A and B are shown apart, each in its own frame.
Chain A
Amino acid sequence: MSQDKTERMEYFISLLDDYIDGRLEQGKTDEIEKMIEDDPFYAEVLKQHVQVRSNIRLAGEEELREKFSKQFEPIKPEVKQKSNPFKFLIPALLLLAIAITAYFFFVDQDKSQEKKPYLENINNQEGELLLASVEDPSYDLLRSQEDSLTANSWRHAVQQFIIKDYRGAIEIVSKLESDSSFVADHLGKVSLMKGVSNLKLEQYEDALDALSLVEKGNPYFDQAEWYMALASYYGGDKKDAQNKLQKIAMSSSHYKRDQASGYLKRLAEE
């Protein structure tokens, strides 16, 4: 390409953008169009220039698209939630802790009641010690393994006593008393049932009479001693009750020692 042709080409190219954008003055527009018309080479150069501009625009758009993409917050990968074995552990432990706490709370309450049963668990709202709350003797101690008519009657009496039909129990025991051998053999438990039944029926004198038959050395003596104290207490003989209760309270081995102290305390407050 000659110097003249090169210069003409550079001149042509320098006008192309304004020509394509329509910003070229009319005289130069005519000049460019004449060059394109006269020489197909210039037409080819124009075509290539348009193509290059189009390509640059495409590249520019791609760059802008990248720029927009970078404006977004990075996407956190969606992680599938793995089943967590500890997911239910904490609630389970909490429940367990509550259950244990509740268990010990109630067990402790029961223990405290055992220690001072006649102070807390038998008081009414006025703080009175109620006869109705007086524990019955252990039923096991009253049961007999003998297989006889008398023994069956006894078992029947026990059943009545268990269902708190004290009157029914007394009736059966009274009949049994006609069997002197049975009474002689089982004086302790027979007297205990009769005495406690009378106590519950508020027949305090009868209760004391029956219970006093249980002699020292009899396996049921401790229980008889305790219910006699109660019979005196509820029968209104506070002095006698106090004596009997003090005796029990001072006995280190008596099974109602603590409860006797409770009653004594109540008596002192009255």
Chain B
Amino acid sequence: MQQESKYSEEELISKLRSGGRAFEDISIYMFNEFKGFLPKIKEKLHLTQQQSQDAYADALVKLIRHLKDGRFRGDSKVSSYFYTIFYNTAVDVSRKNASNKNMQTQELMEHDAKERDLLNLITKKDEAAEVIKVMASMGDVCQRILMDWGYYGYSMTEIATRSDLSNAESARSMKYKCLKKLRALLKSKMYNA
């Protein structure tokens, strides 16, 4: 992918929604495109390099989600929208660090909107980590097929190529089996919890 090429906002959203290779390429393009915000936010919120990079990666994932699911309505430029997401994510990170320092003495009886978001984020991260663990236990092929299908949006033909399967029908059949397996694993995990 040519990093020099510029995409319009429409192209950007279109590529994200089309999924597959275009989705992966445009994600990396966006990663490089908005990196200029990093030093500004880092300095503004007095974050470490690691904290600002973590916040940046989180914010970019959120932006991609919003662009894909239509939550971004085009009221502002994508870059301005991203800046707001990045800033808020970075604030969460800095608050998390601040609260960690006083963890033993601070008891949150009531949560404001920001705190709720933060707690929700932590819960979702834990949940994702749990799912990843479960998916990893299914083996590489199942994990790859489910990810390619469920998140990256590759077509069944592309999935077949990427996973060395004979054709799209084989990929579809494999996906069905993997989904069934995942459902069962998650169910048993839920009952055992």
Contact = CB atoms under 8 A, between A and B. Distances in A.
A48 B57 CA distance: 29
A95 interface: no
A61 B61 contact: yes
A52 B183 CA distance: 7
A58 B53 contact: no
Contacts, number: 81
A57 interface: yes
Contacts of A67: 27
B29 to A, nearest CB: 11
B128 A59 contact: yes
Given A55-B127, A56-B147, A58-B127, A65 B53 contact: no
Nearest to B54: A69
Nearest to B133: A59
A71 B31 contact: yes
B49 A75 contact: yes
B9 to A, nearest CB: 20
Contacts of B31: 68, 71
Contacts of A53: 150
Nearest to A72: B53
Contact of B151 (A51, A59, A69, A71): A59
A109 B151 CA distance: 87
Contacts of B186: 48, 51-52, 55
Contact of B57 (A10, A13, A69): A69
Among B58, B128, B182, residue most surrounded by chain A Cβ atoms (within 10 Å): B128
A264 B85 CA distance: 97
Contacts of B129: 62
Interface residues of B, number: 35
Given A13-B176, A62-B129, A68-B61, A56 B56 contact: no
Nearest to B180: A13
Given A48-B187, A68-B57, A71-B28, A59 B64 contact: no
Interface string B125-141: 10111011001000000
Q: Specify the main secondary structure of chain B where it touches its partner.
A: helix
B13 interface: no
B116 interface: no
Nearest to B60: A68
B132 to A, nearest CB: 5
Nearest to B130: A55
Given A14-B176, A52-B183, A52-B186, A59 B60 contact: no
B65 interface: yes
Nearest to B50: A75
B176 A58 contact: no
A132 interface: no
Nearest to B151: A60
Contacts of A56: 131, 135, 146-147, 149-151, 182
A105 to B, nearest CB: 53
Interface string B9-49: 00000000000000000011001100000000000000001
A63 interface: yes
Nearest to B127: A58
A100 interface: no
A64 interface: yes
Contacts of A65: 57-58, 61
Contact of A58 (B57, B124, B149): B124
Given A56-B147, A61-B65, 8 more contacts: A55-B127, A58-B128, A59-B146, A62-B132, A64-B61, A68-B57, A72-B53, A75-B53
14 contacts: A52-B186, A55-B127, A56-B150, A57-B150, A58-B124, A58-B127, A58-B128, A59-B151, A61-B61, A63-B132, A64-B27, A65-B57, A68-B57, A75-B53
Interface of A: 10, 13-14, 48-49, 51-53, 55-65, 67-69, 71-72, 75
